[in-house]
């Protein structure tokens, strides 16, 4: 079992994981900056990003409805890459001394939100407009879960190691 083993990781392994988590977080939150730039974190912004805003004559930036190919590419690349990210952070969470119920929640929730978010984007694109609310809520939960997981992992990684480990 890997549970509760992070305290026995060598200093070198801890440093490697810390750097990985920091770089991963830069990438993740750069993606969130892109979401802000394209939607302003609003449900109407989400809708306009995928369905366009051609009917708004006062729009500062003209947006057009994404093609089926664009939607499939967005969904495909995000589900594949984010599932790997959440798998790695989930595995790392199970090496901590965090209570199992929190490990379970923080390792499973991002996958549920991932499917709801990108499934919601597809259904929004098909014209089911109320899914923009699901996209906003699940995207928020996914991001909070990721951020909280990374912060917890960093906390456990910087804690003092047992005296017998000095590498």
Write out pLDDT tens, residues 66-123. Answer: 999 999 999 999 999 999 999 999 999 999 999 999 999 999 999 999 999 999 999 9
Lowest mean pLDDT among 4-8, 38-42, 48-52, 137-141: 4-8
Contact 93, 149 (CB under 8 A): yes
Selection from 128, 150, 152, 132 nearest residue 140 by Cα: 132
Q: How far is CA 130 from CA 88, 123, 127, 135, in A?
A: 32, 9, 9, 9
pTM: 0.92
């Amino acid at each position: 079992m890997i549970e509760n083993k992070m305290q026995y990781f060598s200093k070198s392994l801890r440093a490697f994981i810390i750097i990985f988590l920091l770089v991963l977080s830069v990438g993740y939150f750069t993606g969130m900056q892109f979401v802000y730039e394209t939607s302003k974190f609003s449900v109407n912004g989400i809708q306009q990003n995928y369905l366009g805003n051609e009917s708004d004559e006062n729009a500062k930036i003209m947006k057009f409805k994404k093609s089926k190919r664009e939607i499939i590419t967005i969904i495909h690349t995000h589900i594949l890459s984010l599932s790997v990210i959440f798998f790695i952070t989930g595995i790392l969470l199970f090496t901590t001394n965090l209570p199992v119920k929190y490990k379970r929640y923080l390792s499973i929730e991002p996958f549920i939100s991932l499917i709801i978010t990108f499934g919601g984007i597809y259904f929004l694109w098909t014209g089911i407009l109320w899914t923009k609310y699901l996209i906003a809520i699940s995207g928020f939960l996914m991001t909070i879960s990721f951020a909280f997981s990374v912060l917890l992992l960093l906390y456990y990684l910087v804690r003092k190691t047992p005296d017998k480990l000095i590498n």
